[in-house]
């Protein structure tokens, strides 16, 4: 399951909402509003609540993406350990043994 890597931003001037990549949205980033075409400045410590919220949300999304990527790296190794090689292998050999024995007896009887 992928994480939405965009953040909802509210234009400081026309209050219309648009989405922008969380990876770009950080302190010092500027973005032109697609609606009113004014420049929206994303500055840490901005008195504007919308900017503040967008920066905080972007930070949260970036963290979630980092955690998901770390998860993806960890998971293949974890699932390999979870397959229980020690349990599956004897069960398989047991099944082979059971199949081999009657066959061996049958060949002896037929002789």
Contact positions toward Zn ion, by CB under 5 A? 11, 13-14, 33, 35-36
CA 100 from chain centre, in angstroms, equals 47
Closer by beta carbon to Zn ion, 8 or else 96: 8
- Which are the contacts of 18, defined by CB distance < 8 A and separation ≥ 6? 8, 9, 11, 33, 34, 35
Nearer to Zn ion, 50 or 65 (CB): 50
Q: At closest approach, how far in Å is the CB of 11 from Zn ion?
A: 3
Give the nearer residue to Zn ion in terms of CB position, either 11 or 55. Answer: 11
Q: How far is the CB of 23 from Zn ion (least distance, A)?
A: 22
Q: How far is the CB of 42 from Zn ion (least distance, A)?
A: 14
Q: Are strands 17-21 and 6-10 parallel, antiparallel or unpaired?
A: antiparallel
Tell me how far apart the alpha carbons of residues 14 and 38 are, in angstroms, rounded to a whole number.
9
């Amino acid at each position: 399951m992928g994480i939405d890597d965009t953040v909802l931003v509210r234009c400081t001037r026309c209050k219309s909402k648009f989405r922008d990549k969380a990876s770009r949205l950080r302190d010092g980033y500027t973005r032109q509003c697609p609606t009113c075409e004014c420049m929206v400045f994303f500055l840490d410590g901005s008195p504007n609540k919308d900017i503040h919220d967008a920066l905080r949300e972007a930070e949260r999304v970036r963290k979630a993406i980092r955690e998901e990527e770390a998860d993806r790296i960890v998971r293949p190794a974890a699932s390999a350990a979870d397959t229980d090689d020690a349990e599956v292998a004897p069960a398989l050999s047991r099944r082979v043994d059971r199949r081999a024995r009657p066959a061996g007896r049958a060949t002896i009887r037929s002789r």
